[in-house]
Amino acid sequence: MLTDTQIQEHNQAGATALAEDFDHLALQLARRNIDIESLVARAEKFRVAVPSWGVGRGGTRFGRFGFAGEPRNILEKLEDCEVVFKLVRTTPGISLHIPWDKPENAAQLRAFAESRGLFIDSMNSNTFQDQPGQPLSYQFGSLSHTDRGVRQQAVAHNLECIQIGQQLGARSHTVWIGDGGNFPGQVHFRRALDRYLDSLGEIYRAVPETWRLFIEHKFYEPAFYSTVLNDWGTSYYCTRELGPRAWSLVDLGHHAPNVNVEIIVARLIQFGKLGGFHFNDSQYGDDDLDAGSIKPFQLFLIFNELVDAELSGVTAFDPAYMLDQSHNVTDPIESLITSSVELTRAYIQAQLVDRGALSKFQESNDALMALQTLKQAYTTDVSPILATARVRSGGAADPIGVYRSSGYRKATAADRPAPVRLGAGIV
């Protein structure tokens, strides 16, 4: 158990040090004409959804190493999500993956989440794996399969996800497909995309008026030569073809190494189709490492685009922030805590950019000072703002410290019998 009293005791113990750090930063920012209180208010409002699959142990195709206390079902996953939420307060929304999280009783699951201050945010379909008893295989694709029967089965699965989501009070549906080819010639590129769009159209028509449909592009994996929804341009084309409820989702790890993801974000904003994010970090591919762990400056630059759009009042701009990570060597609760803090950090740092000065340097082609303007914001340590925002909303100044001393993982290890050692991982 992790109690509010444990959190408050920790906060009290560190209160003087935090107040001193906060006052010091307030002075520094005041010199730059920045009101620290408005930043705390923004940090308190920041939200990012946690993936249900992120509280379990991820894996690779070589293996998966479970841990003691690992959640075994969606209710236990929500218990772990609640711990993250209690400590950081920015993560009440949960993304679900069907059939991994398929509820036996949707009303009960919804009540279970809501009684913990959580809600179901986005539904995610899975047509990249075959499920036991499934009549037709997805080995050669799903929504874009050459066989109409397979396409129909994949569409039906997505409709079921939406239906479950409606019972759970979800507000979006996210579709990522593994469709593609391993060899030149295997897939007819144009015909496959036509079939994909056709299937997606059926799903789109079932998306409730108040929901959004997110589609997620990815340049490779599991297909190693070509994928059907391979990049943001194709994603943009598809979401435009589909209509106003369809939006492009950017998973940071779904691009080739060195790709400028922030310009993709800016383009999708400008074209009115940026639906949201799957945040994570990577060195080589879809590594699904913790957000901000490898390329924190890139994360800042992405938020710089987001904040710039927010401040300039771009219409049709309400991106859904979600994490999509695979925790192979850490306690997933700790990774999710850290990642949500890193996102809030990048968001607040991006608020510090002197946009008037930046614009002036851009207009006068002063490249050096333009970069310096961004760097001034990026190198400001906003930790006291983040900690204060957490404390004021009932969370922990030092979330990892509280979590480690709470004994929560030990308790779950006792309550939840040891996991079965599985072979290959799935995500």
Please give the residue ranges that form the binding site for Mn ion (CB under 5 A).
251, 278, 286, 324
Closer to ligand RM4 by Cβ: residue 278 or 327: 278
The pairing of strands 226-227 and 180-181 is antiparallel
286 binds ligand RM4 (CB under 6 A): yes
Q: 51 or 103, CB closer to ligand RM4?
A: 51
Q: Which is nearer to ligand RM4, 124 or 239 (CB)?
A: 124
Q: Does 179 engage in binding with ligand RM4 (CB under 6 A)? A: no
Tell me how far, at minimum, the Cβ of 251 lies from ligand RM4, in Å: 5
Among 251, 287, 290, 334, binds ligand RM4 (CB under 6 A): 251
Using the CB atoms, write b or e for 206-222: b if 16+ within 10 Å.
bbeeebbbbbbbbbbee
Strand (E) or helix (H) holding 250: strand 246-251
CA distance 427 to 129: 11
Residues 258-277 within binding reach of ligand RM4 (CB under 6 A): none
Distance CA 305, CA 79 (A): 34
CB of 276 closer than 8 Å to CB of 244: no
Q: How far is the CB of 277 from Mn ion (least distance, A)?
A: 9
CA–CA distance, 33 with 226 (Å, rounded to integer)? 50
Q: Is 315 helix (H, G, I), strand (E, B) or coil?
A: coil
Minimum gap (Å) between residue 344 Cβ and ligand RM4: 22
Distance, CA of 80 to CA of 72 (rounded, Å):
11
Q: Are 8 and 396 in contact (CB under 8 A)?
A: no
Among 79, 101, 121, 216, binds ligand RM4 (CB under 6 A): 216
Q: Residues in contact with ligand RM4, total (CB under 6 A)?
A: 8
x/- letters, 120..149, toward ligand RM4 (CB under 6 A): ----x-------------------------
Identify which of residues 40 and 49 has a Cβ nearer to Mn ion in the complex. Answer: 49
DSSP 393: T
Helix (H) / strand (E) containing 94: strand 93-97
Site string for ligand RM4, 54-93 (x = CB under 6 A): ----------------------------------------
Q: Given the rule CB under 6 A, which residues bind ligand RM4? A: 124, 176, 216, 251, 278, 286, 324, 427
